[in-house]
Amino acid sequence: MSLIARLAEKSWETPGAEHLREPDSYRPAAATVGVYLYFGVATVIFTLLTAAYLMRMGFPSAADHRIGDDWRPMPEPPLLWINTAILILSSLAWETARRAAWREEAGRMRPMAMVGGFLGLLFLAGQLLLWRYYQAAGYYLSANPANAFFYLLTAVHGLHLAGGIGACARTMGQMAIGTDVGRVRRNVRLCAVYWHYLMLVWLMLAGLLVMT
């Protein structure tokens, strides 16, 4: 076959290429591309915040110029680890829903997606309780640089998780109105990947807050 003929060839008319007739069969959906682009942006944001955290922790205090003298890490109440366990369970529920979607097990996919979303909401509620605990104990935003970074990091992470819960609610709505099954399964898979990403980010942030 000549070069010109090959360039003019239509893939969907080539024997053996019937699976390429629909665009979704050979290129990712826009939603998938958007989620992975988001991961790139979010990774940059959390990396910059982490770098700022580590740099500020080593700055000398304005009072006596001793390194880290004004940096006092916050305590680690049990609620911090309870919230961490809840988020891990939420991620596991989404992974179960993702596998059910891959196996086309709609009867298992929907309840596990609901469990994953509910545990995500529970995590956010737990984070608000954690904030209230610290404030009641006198760890206010302006009291110490470590406090300010804790509230900033957890707030940014919480906002990203709230966005995931919004996507979860939309997916649940699609299930309720009988949206195309393939689209629903794709969205469940994207929600699972999103949750896994935020779980890893939270584990990193929790480790950073604890070890410093």
Give, for 22, the enclosing helix (H) or strand (E).
none
Domain count, the chain: 1
Please state, in angstroms and rounded to a whole number, the distance separating the CA atoms of residues 93 and 108: 11
Question: 32 pLDDT band (50/70/90 cuts)?
Answer: confident
Per-residue pLDDT at 59: 62
3 falls within a domain: no
* In a domain? residue 177: yes
For the entire predicted model, the pTM comes to: 0.79
The verdict on residue 29 lying in a domain is yes
Tell me if 71 is assigned to some domain. Answer: yes
Q: How far apart are CA 23 and CA 178, in angstroms?
A: 22
In 3-state terms, what secondary structure has residue 27?
coil
Question: What is the pLDDT, as a whole number, of residue 207?
Answer: 86
The residue whose two tokens read 């110490």 is 144
* Six token digits for residue 55: 């740099």
- Band (pLDDT 50/70/90 cuts) for residue 69 is low
Residue 2, domain member (yes or no)? no
Residue 106's SS3 state is helix
CATH of the domain at 133: 1.20.120.80
pLDDT in tens, 145-191: 888 899 999 999 999 999 999 999 998 888 888 777 888 888 999 99
| Residue numbers of the domain that contains 140 | 11-211
Q: What pLDDT shows up at residue 20?
A: 45
d(CA 47, CA 131): 23
Mean pLDDT over each residue of the chain, to the nearest integer:
82
Q: How many CA atoms lie within 13 A of 26 on its CB side?
A: 9
Amino acid type, 208: L
| Average confidence (pLDDT) over 16-30 | 53
Please give the C-alpha separations between residue 20 and each of 23, 27, 123, in angstroms, as whole numbers.
7, 9, 42
In angstroms, rounded to a whole number, what is the distance separating the alpha carbons of residues 163 and 166?
A: 5
pLDDT surpasses 90 at 91: yes
Task: Give per-residue pLDDT as tens, 77-87.
Answer: 899 999 999 99
pLDDT band at 68 (very low <50, low <70, confident <90, very high): very low
pLDDT, position 27: 62
User: Is residue 114 one of the residues assigned to a domain?
Assistant: yes
In a domain, residue 1? The reply is: no
Q: For residue 175, is it within any domain?
A: yes
Residue 18 has pLDDT above 60, yes or no: no
Q: What is the pLDDT of residue 79?
A: 93
Q: Which amino acid is at 157?
A: H
User: Which residues have CB under 8 Å from 191's CB, separation 6+?
Assistant: 94, 97, 113, 116, 164, 167, 168, 171
